[in-house]
Structure 1
Amino acid sequence: MSIYSRILVVADINNDEQPALARAMKLASKSVSQSRVTFFLSIYDFSYDMTSMLSIDERDAMRRGVIHQREQWMRKIAAPYLLDGIDFDVKVVWHKRPYEAIIAEIFANGHELLVKATRKHDVLESVIFTPTDWHLLRKCPTPVLLIKQQEWPEETNILASVHVGSENPIHLELNNIMVEDALSIAERLGGTPYLVNAYPATPTNITIELPEFDPNTYTDAMRGYHLTAMKALRQKHGIPEEQTLVEQGLPEDVIPDAADKLSASMVILGTTGRTGLSAVFIGNTAEHVIDKINCDVLALKPAGYVSPLDPNLAS
């Protein structure tokens, strides 16, 4: 796992309380090397670009003034969260699309982790107007930690949602990445890592179309396969059996239930960054799950993932 010593935190412009900054500082304080936290905000006001009575220089001066005011506000609200030994900086940019500004900042300055507060998204809004969170889950080149409004207890549980039933190399690689992060974060926070896997129920159409089909045999075989795969994964990483869960059902049901039962402070999910129409009409598992979870969510990409906003793609 990355040591996450360079962390980018997105400011919540609508609140004085900044849970994302608090979480970033806690993670940075556990880093084994010198840490740096950048408090970031992307702002834009259409009216400042449409004031035809002002010259370009005057409009630029107005924008600089707004940016300066925001920087002062951010430094003021950040003061209670700052910790000794952690380098801290504030950055405000003028940009129409926040997610593009955030990702551009990550590429420009090599941040290793993005931390942002989140909220529950309206279903219709999520389909028609893709929220910034969804853009970041799909396109951000670094891990994305989305923060909910709750504190981490001293002895916390970290839950990694693995996909042990798949033979897809990308899923297998993501499983290992998620487990390694769960182990590392749990160790640094004095917590306990857990692995959870959801396996599918017997398709109802099969039992109707094939009367001789035995659903119980199918279910037992499916569960056995996933239990065996989970055993191999947990043994590879030295995780006890009692810290694994294999449950029947959809991931968007199984994962939130497991998080509630374990009082997890963080759920780690893998996302392959699906974009385009498939993302709109199908969505990623992470996006189906995230609104149902009442704790922080860490979304990881597979190694070698290339963001569609990578500036090197244009060259």
Structure 2
Amino acid sequence: MSQYQKLLLIINPALRQSPAINHAAALAKASGASLHIAALLKSLDRLSFLEQGNREQARESYLQEHRDWLKAQASNLRGRGLEVTTEVAWADDMEQDILAHVMEMQPDLLIKEVQHESVLKRAFFTPLDWYLLRHCPIPVYLVGGSGFGLPRKIVAAVEVSETESADNELNERIIQQATGLAMQCGAELHLLYACDISAGFLADMDGLTLADLTKALRKDLEKNFLKLASRYGVSADHRHFIMGHPVSALSEFANEQNVDVIVMGKVQSRGVNKLLGSTTEHILYQVPCCILAV
């Protein structure tokens, strides 16, 4: 049985060239899931200058225009054998309205196009996609790049540690999601760990140099990564133990290897009480592919 039975797609109907609908439809077709498309619109400030009656008429006319467009999109998808429902509504609080849809519908996956924000804006406001990564209780699939068809190369980006057990539960969820998606799409599954050894990981030890400690830690990490790959039956040529900061290493790998989807944890731990949710958040703006965060 497919791991996806019900998909929820959130779109901005004003962005009609978005690949999100076709991508979500391809996933629904491959998994046999139903698809609900919610087109959420922010209130139009310029309507506030109209008289009350004219304002309501303009709001309804604007909604109806998008309803007609989305109805035509849904009709085309049903012609491809998909079970599709739609809605167009105003969203006074986009973040909370999306989460309310998730809680009400209980879908298996929330799908949304990546919404790029400037560095300056991110410095003062939490982007919508970051908010969903932090607060959405279900896996979030953010469509990036072209994203028009089914993925062909999927990378499960995991965390390993020298103790082997610290990230097992999250790694299991990541690999299960990646494996299920790869099976449904007929895609290649790759396993990757970006090893970033810094002085913060290394303690002072008598008689050992920094180079000795770095070499020993890398050896332990690579050993545990290979154990993890073997446990889930990942072939040797699909295992990637690479050195570097996770964001830059993943970005470079995704670009060079034409990756379609990176499956990551929403929050990953490294060091004492340090959260690396920002790794997944910042990768959104660095890679030309989709991100599935679990």
- Please tell me the TM-score bracket, short chain as reference: 0.7 to 0.9
Q: Secondary structure at the match of 2:12?
A: coil
Alpha-carbon distance between aligned partners in 2 of 1:182 and 1:2, rounded to the nearest angstrom: 13
User: Of 106, 109, 122, which residue of structure 1 is paired with 2:105?
Assistant: 109
User: Of 198, 211, 217, which residue of structure 2 is paired with 1:216?
Assistant: 211
Does residue 92 (structure 1) correspond to residue 93 (structure 2)? The answer is no
Of 254-263 and 145-154, deviating more is 145-154
Aligned to 2:291: 297
Aligned residues between the structures: 291
Aligned to 2:24: 24
User: Of 38, 63, 74, which residue of structure 1 is paired with 2:36?
Assistant: 38
Aligned to 1:238: 233
Gap regions ≥5 residues in structure 2: none
Aligned to 1:304: none
Q: CA deviation at 1:127?
A: 2.1
Does residue 225 (structure 1) correspond to residue 229 (structure 2)? The answer is no
Alpha-carbon distance between aligned partners in 2 of 1:166 and 1:266, rounded to the nearest angstrom: 27
Does residue 287 (structure 1) correspond to residue 281 (structure 2)? The answer is yes
Alpha-carbon distance between aligned partners in 2 of 1:114 and 1:62, rounded to the nearest angstrom: 31
Alpha-carbon distance between aligned partners in 2 of 1:155 and 1:63, rounded to the nearest angstrom: 38
Q: CA deviation at 1:52?
A: 9.2
Alpha-carbon distance between aligned partners in 2 of 1:85 and 1:138, rounded to the nearest angstrom: 34
User: Of 164, 171, 175, which residue of structure 2 is paired with 1:175?
Assistant: 171
Q: CA deviation at 1:191?
A: 1.5
**Contact 1:152 1:265 (C-alpha < 8 Å) held by counterparts:** no
Alpha-carbon distance between aligned partners in 1 of 2:159 and 2:126, rounded to the nearest angstrom: 26
Alpha-carbon distance between aligned partners in 1 of 2:57 and 2:63, rounded to the nearest angstrom: 10
Aligned to 1:131: 127
Alpha-carbon distance between aligned partners in 2 of 1:133 and 1:154, rounded to the nearest angstrom: 22
Matched to 1:262, the amino acid is Q
Matched to 1:121, the amino acid is E
The TM-score normalised by the length of structure 1 is 0.79
Alpha-carbon distance between aligned partners in 1 of 2:5 and 2:17, rounded to the nearest angstrom: 23
Does residue 191 (structure 1) correspond to residue 187 (structure 2)? The answer is yes
C-alpha change, 1:85 and 1:3, in structure 2 (3 Å) is farther
**Contact 1:93 1:101 (C-alpha < 8 Å) held by counterparts:** no
Alpha-carbon distance between aligned partners in 1 of 2:23 and 2:79, rounded to the nearest angstrom: 12
What value does the CA root-mean-square deviation take over the aligned residues?
Answer: 3.4
**Contact 1:25 1:82 (C-alpha < 8 Å) held by counterparts:** no
Aligned to 1:303: none
Of 8-17 and 287-296, deviating more is 8-17
Q: CA deviation at 1:46?
A: 5.4
Matched to 1:216, the amino acid is A
Gap regions ≥5 residues in structure 1: 301-315
Q: CA deviation at 1:251?
A: 0.6
CA-to-aligned-CA distance 1:71-124 (integer Å, 9 cap, x gap):
112223455555533211111222222121111111111221111111432111
CA-to-aligned-CA distance 1:157-199 (integer Å, 9 cap, x gap):
1001100127597732111111112112112222111111122
Q: Which runs of 4+ in 1 moved over 4 A?
A: 46-53, 58-65, 77-83, 151-155, 166-170, 204-207, 209-213
Alpha-carbon distance between aligned partners in 2 of 1:11 and 1:19, rounded to the nearest angstrom: 10
**Contact 2:162 2:217 (C-alpha < 8 Å) held by counterparts:** no
Aligned to 1:7: 7
Q: Secondary structure at the match of 2:21?
A: helix
C-alpha change, 1:28 and 1:100, in structure 2 (3 Å) is same
Q: CA deviation at 1:292?
A: 0.9
Q: CA deviation at 1:240?
A: 1.6
Q: Secondary structure at the match of 1:125?
A: helix
Does residue 253 (structure 1) correspond to residue 248 (structure 2)? The answer is yes
Q: Secondary structure at the match of 1:284?
A: helix
Q: Secondary structure at the match of 1:86?
A: coil
Aligned to 1:309: none
Q: CA deviation at 1:260?
A: 2.2
Q: CA deviation at 1:221?
A: 1.1
